[in-house]
Amino acid sequence: MTEENDKLKRLLNTIQIPEPNEEARKGALNAAVAEFEQLKKAEEEKVEGFSWLRRRTDKTLRRGPVMSKQFVIAVGTVFSIFLMVMVMMPHFVSYPNQYSYLRRLFSPRVEEKSKEGLVDSLNSFIIKYGGSSQSTAFERGWRDQTYAARDRFEAATPNPVKKTSEEPVSTFSIDVDTASYAFVRRALNNGTLPQKNAVRIEELINYFDYDYPLPEDRSIPFKPTVAVFPTPWNPDTKLLHIGIKGFDIVAQKRPKSNLVFLIDVSGSMEDRDKLPLLKNAFRMLVETLDPEDSVAMVVYAGAAGTVLEPVKAKEKGKILAALERLSAGGSTAGGEGIRQAYALAEANFDPDGVNRVILATDGDFNVGIRDPEELKGFVERKRKTGIFLTVLGFGQGNYNDALMQKLAQNGNGVAAYIDSLNEARKVLVDEAHANLFTIAKDVKIQIEFNPAKITEYRLIGYETRLLRREDFNNDLVDAGDVGAGHSVTALYEITPTGSTAKLIDDLRYGKPETAGKENVEEKSGEYAFLKIRYKLPESKDSLLLTRAVDKKSEYQSLASAPDEVRFASAVAAFGQLLRGDSHVKDFTYNDVIKIAESVRGKDRFGYRSEFMNLVRLAKTARAMGDN
Amino acid sequence: MDNYSDIELVELSVDGDTEAFEYLIKRHYMAVYKVSYKWCGVKEDAEDITQEVLIKLAQKLKTFGRKSSFKTWLYRIIINTAKDYHRKHATKRVYETAFAAERSTDNPGSQEDEHIDAARLYKALEKLPEKQKTAVLLVFSEGLTHNEAARVLRCTEATVSWRIFQAKKRLKKSLEHEI
């Protein structure tokens, strides 16, 4: 008998149990903690109403059973009086004042309740976290491609080729957004080519981290590096590459953060690649915060409401519970939400810290201020208070890219598009420093080409970021910001004088190109002169960095150019191919792969390998289009 | 927190200490998961059941009677959750991953036999009435005494013994039948 039992025991324990998924584990723990917090909060609310009663109960019960008997009698008496009053209540109806007085007396929470009604209505959707399968479900692919056509992008025509003799100066604002890349990736993973306007080449290029040299001295936030090398897609032109990389904030020196999450919970957010993904993303962000960082949460749907007053990040449970409670429903009063979020950020403003509103939405503001210009104006005014804005785009279907871009650009902010948990990790965890801590703001680049060396030039990408020449020195004109560790890259395709690739004919009546010759000759070795203006995060006045682009930064062949530079050129070519630009001529996706393959670099997170996959996907997507 | 017993952690949690609660569920996650897996045989289901158990733990903390042991109480929650889950999802249980991986490695003959036996045993277990299966898992896999199992299942010790007896009879029959 015992032998049999032992065998049974042994056999039952022979089973090999697979390790649980780490994400499932974390999700389960967080869900339980959220539930715990939720119940605690409900309990506290209940107690508040009866605090006197509870205090009595506690005290009395502790004194022992005899007292508790007395207590029961006391409570019984109180209740019978209460009942009597209730019964008599209708008699007071004829005296409305007395009635309302009594009502207030006996249910002091009624009014409070109605005040909270707004929040309650937002909270009414309390959903039970539906299981760990959720965390991976949204990564399983996207449905309904027909949706994609409703996503809104601002139209942008590629920058035209400029003639140096006519317009030697080019000015633009930097752009560290990456939304476009994620959107392109999503489309390609669906087997379709992205809409042309969804492809912003500079965002594709800046999606990747480049190892540009850092400044030796912290007093300057970054150092520009320049390179001139043969254009991969055109043997007769060259590429001028400008790269800057901001220093990274050392973890200990990291300032405190005052973050306000502004979360869209309107009906359109209920898709699994929106709100559920957003929750997961924010759960990850919460993990990376310092205990003293402060977090608040505002949601907006039909109405806007604060679901979490500012708390310290160490009270993780509260934050997670508030996140859990979110669910989607109603139309979108984004404007009001933004107002409340900024108000909270202002109330909790930390002059030495980072103050930031993080807006997560599919960009569909359909109630309240819906005029993009008005919203833009609001965000722009708030920028001056020192509160920065991060815009995280989610989902597809009615994604309003144009508005998101506008908000981020005008609110001293960053815009990113979150299409998967991986992307959330990149934006919120791996690059948290870059996206949360600004080291330089209003960074503008101006470059003056030397007509003696270059006849024509063309800026690749940055179509939505062009500035007027005079804006460069005008500190009131807003521009992009650089976060800790961010790298920014810009590429110009330049046509050297005498090259056969020249596209624009000389003017018949124009001056000969010898204008100002004596001056030009002096600096004849230079291709161009680079100027960068930036402001330190708290400063109103800009600082200037300059550097000449000359022979020293030139590489005779593509192969001899630095890896980072070559990779950037591959991404630029890819973007232009996706847009169907004429400048890339007979360059193909295969050529892009060839360059990218040779320069994958460290690729710590596998982003560059992913890029190669996307190029391959684009090849087949294109083939489908041709049929 | 390491020094706190389960019961102390429960008490702290009841007083609203989130950290204590988090610690408590972290401590028991694997144990709960393992029992769940043995019950259902599917990794994803076991993960889901575990999550539900932890949530229930949060909800039921206050009902934890200090006289009973935490282990007993936890087992009861797991068993009930697993049963509910099974009812709700009516999942077919496969212990494939558990045994397939084992079999592929070159085990000496006898051990391999054991694995095959174990796989068959779990399959046979599936065919038992739920009550008998539960009793078998608690007693033989979890190593509870009949008395402890009785407390988990809220029945008498005699009932547990009876279920075990019946279960063993059936298991033997179905295993023999297969051979």
Question: Where do we find the tokens 């952690």?
Answer: B9
Instruction: Give, in degrees to the nearest 5, the angle at Cα A168 between A166 and A171.
Output: 125
Contact flag B47-A12 (C-beta cutoff 8 Å): no
Coil, strand, or helix at residue B63?
A: helix
pLDDT for residue A606 is more than 50: yes
From A577, A570, A568, select the one nearest A593 (Cα to Cα): A570
Residue range B132-175, pLDDT digits in tens? 999 999 999 888 999 999 989 989 999 999 999 999 988 888 88
Contact flag B140-A131 (C-beta cutoff 8 Å): no
Return the top range by mean pLDDT from A83-92, A145-154, A543-552. A543-552
Chain B: nearest CA to A287, how far in angstroms? 14
Q: Which of B22, B38, B118 sits opposite A33 (nearest CB)?
A: B22
Q: Which of residues 60-119 of B touch A (CB under 8 A)?
A: 61, 95, 97-99, 101-102, 114-115, 117-118
Distance separating alpha carbons of residues A199 and A180, to the nearest angstrom: 6
Q: Which two tokens stand for residue A495?
A: 């046509």
Contact flag B54-A31 (C-beta cutoff 8 Å): yes
pLDDT of residue A326: 77
Using an 8 Å Cβ cutoff, are A389 and A379 in contact?
Answer: yes
Chain A residues near any Cβ of chain B (below 8 Å) = 4-5, 8-18, 20-21, 24-25, 27-29, 31-33, 35-37, 39-40, 43, 128-129, 131-133, 315-317
Q: How does residue A116 score in pLDDT terms, banded at 50, 70 and 90?
A: very low
Q: Which of B25, B99, B136 sits opposite A32 (nearest CB)?
A: B25
Residue range A162-205, pLDDT digits in tens? 888 888 999 999 887 888 888 888 888 777 888 888 888 998 99
pLDDT for residue A301 is more than 80: no
Q: Which of B22, B51, B58 sits opposite A132 (nearest CB)?
A: B51
Which one is predicted more confidently, A512 or A104?
A512
Distance separating alpha carbons of residues A585 and A457, to the nearest angstrom: 17
pLDDT of residue A289: 80
Chain B: nearest CA to A253, how far in angstroms? 27
Chain A: nearest CA to B129, how far in angstroms? 17
Q: What is the tally of helices (H) and strands (E) in chain A? A: 20, 16
Q: Which two tokens stand for residue A190?
A: 């669906």
Residues of A in contact with B48 (CB under 8 A): 131-133
Q: What is the CA radius of gyration of chain B?
A: 18
Contact flag B50-A4 (C-beta cutoff 8 Å): no
Contact flag A29-B33 (C-beta cutoff 8 Å): no
Residue range A11-62, pLDDT digits in tens? 888 777 888 888 788 888 888 888 888 788 777 776 655 544 444 444 444 4
Q: Which two tokens stand for residue A284?
A: 């990850």
From A379, A294, A390, select the one nearest A335 (Cα to Cα): A379
Return the top range by mean pLDDT from A125-129, B4-8, B25-29. B25-29
Rounded mean pLDDT of B18-34? 91
Q: How does residue A79 score in pLDDT terms, banded at 50, 70 and 90?
A: low
Q: Which helix (H) or strand (E) holds A22?
A: helix A22-49
Question: Where do we find the tokens 């289009």?
Answer: A625
Return the top range by mean pLDDT from A84-98, A281-295, A366-380. A281-295
pLDDT for residue A234 is more than 80: yes
Return the top range by mean pLDDT from A392-396, A420-424, A551-555. A551-555
Mean pLDDT of chain A: 74
Nearby residues of A177 by Cβ (< 8 Å), 6 or more positions away: A200, A203, A206, A405, A408, A414, A415, A416
Contact flag A21-B95 (C-beta cutoff 8 Å): no
pLDDT of residue A60: 42
Q: Which pairs count as long-range contacts for A537-542, CB under 8 Å and 24+ apart, including other chains?
A: A537/A438, A537/A439, A537/A440, A537/A441, A538/A386, A540/A475, A541/A475, A542/A442, A542/A475
- Percent above pLDDT 70 for chain A: 73
Chain B: nearest CA to A4, how far in angstroms? 9
Rounded mean pLDDT of A295-306? 77
pLDDT for residue B48 is more than 60: yes
Relative orientation angle of helices A51-62 and A22-49, to the nearest 10 degrees: 90
Relative orientation angle of helices A22-49 and A316-324, to the nearest 10 degrees: 90
Q: Which of B50, B101, B141 sits opposite A13 (nearest CB)?
A: B141
Using an 8 Å Cβ cutoff, are A310 and A280 in contact?
Answer: no
Q: Which two tokens stand for residue A303?
A: 């109405």
Residues of A in contact with B97 (CB under 8 A): 18
Residues of A in contact with B57 (CB under 8 A): 32
Coil, strand, or helix at residue A283?
A: helix
Residue range A236-257, pLDDT digits in tens? 899 999 998 888 765 556 678 8
Q: How does residue A582 score in pLDDT terms, banded at 50, 70 and 90?
A: confident
Chain A: nearest CA to B31, how far in angstroms? 11
> Chain B residue closest to A15 (CA)?
B98
Residue range A201-229, pLDDT digits in tens? 998 998 888 888 887 776 788 888 899 99
> Chain A residue closest to B37 (CA)?
A17
Contact flag A35-B59 (C-beta cutoff 8 Å): yes
Rounded mean pLDDT of A326-345? 72
Contact flag B95-A15 (C-beta cutoff 8 Å): yes
> Chain B residue closest to A317 (CA)?
B18
Rounded mean pLDDT of A554-563? 88
pLDDT of residue A521: 55
Coil, strand, or helix at residue A174?
A: coil
Contact flag B168-A29 (C-beta cutoff 8 Å): no
The answer to whether residue B39 neighbours chain A at the CB level (below 8 Å) is no
pLDDT of residue B109: 47
pLDDT of residue A95: 40
Q: Which of A15, A29, A35 sits opposite B38 (nearest CB)?
A: A15
Which one is predicted more confidently, A411 or A116?
A411
Q: Which of B46, B58, B98 sits opposite A32 (nearest CB)?
A: B58
Chain A: nearest CA to B140, how far in angstroms? 5
Pairing state between β A526-535 and A162-163 = unpaired
> Chain A residue closest to B115 (CA)?
A14
Residue range B75-129, pLDDT digits in tens? 999 999 988 887 776 655 545 444 444 443 444 445 566 677 777 888 888 888 8
- Percent above pLDDT 70 for chain B: 82
The answer to whether residue B25 neighbours chain A at the CB level (below 8 Å) is yes
Which of A14, A48, A136 best probes binding to B when mutated, by most B CB atoms within 10 angstroms?
A: A14
Chain A: nearest CA to B17, how far in angstroms? 9
Strand partners, A355: A258
Residues of A in contact with B47 (CB under 8 A): 20-21, 24-25, 28, 132
Chain B: nearest CA to A295, how far in angstroms? 18
Query: What single DSSP character describes residue A429?
Result: I
pLDDT for residue A144 is more than 70: no
H-type helices in A93-244, by residue range?
96-106, 109-123, 133-137, 179-189, 201-206
Residues of B in contact with A42 (CB under 8 A): none
Using an 8 Å Cβ cutoff, are A264 and A361 in contact?
Answer: yes
Residue range A512-546, pLDDT digits in tens? 555 444 455 556 678 899 999 998 877 888 889 89
Contact flag A28-B47 (C-beta cutoff 8 Å): yes
pLDDT for residue A404 is more than 80: no
pLDDT of residue A519: 54
Q: How does residue B28 score in pLDDT terms, banded at 50, 70 and 90?
A: very high
State residue A528 phi and psi, 5-degree precision: -160, 170
Q: Which of B48, B55, B115 sits opposite A35 (nearest CB)?
A: B55
Q: Which of residues 133-152 of B touch A (CB under 8 A)?
A: 136-137, 140-141, 143
Chain A: nearest CA to B82, how far in angstroms? 14
pLDDT for residue B65 is more than 80: no
Residue range A341-356, pLDDT digits in tens? 888 888 888 887 788 8
Instruction: Give, in degrees to the nearest 5, the angle at Cα A136 between A132 and A141.
Output: 150
Q: How does residue A107 score in pLDDT terms, banded at 50, 70 and 90?
A: very low
From A279, A606, A12, A430, select the one nearest B167 (Cα to Cα): A12
Q: Which of B13, B34, B44 sits opposite A133 (nearest CB)?
A: B44
Residues of A in contact with B99 (CB under 8 A): 15-16
What's the whole-model pTM score? 0.52
Using an 8 Å Cβ cutoff, are A234 and A495 in contact?
Answer: no
Angstrom CA distances, A351 to A118, A344, A356, stand at 31, 14, 12
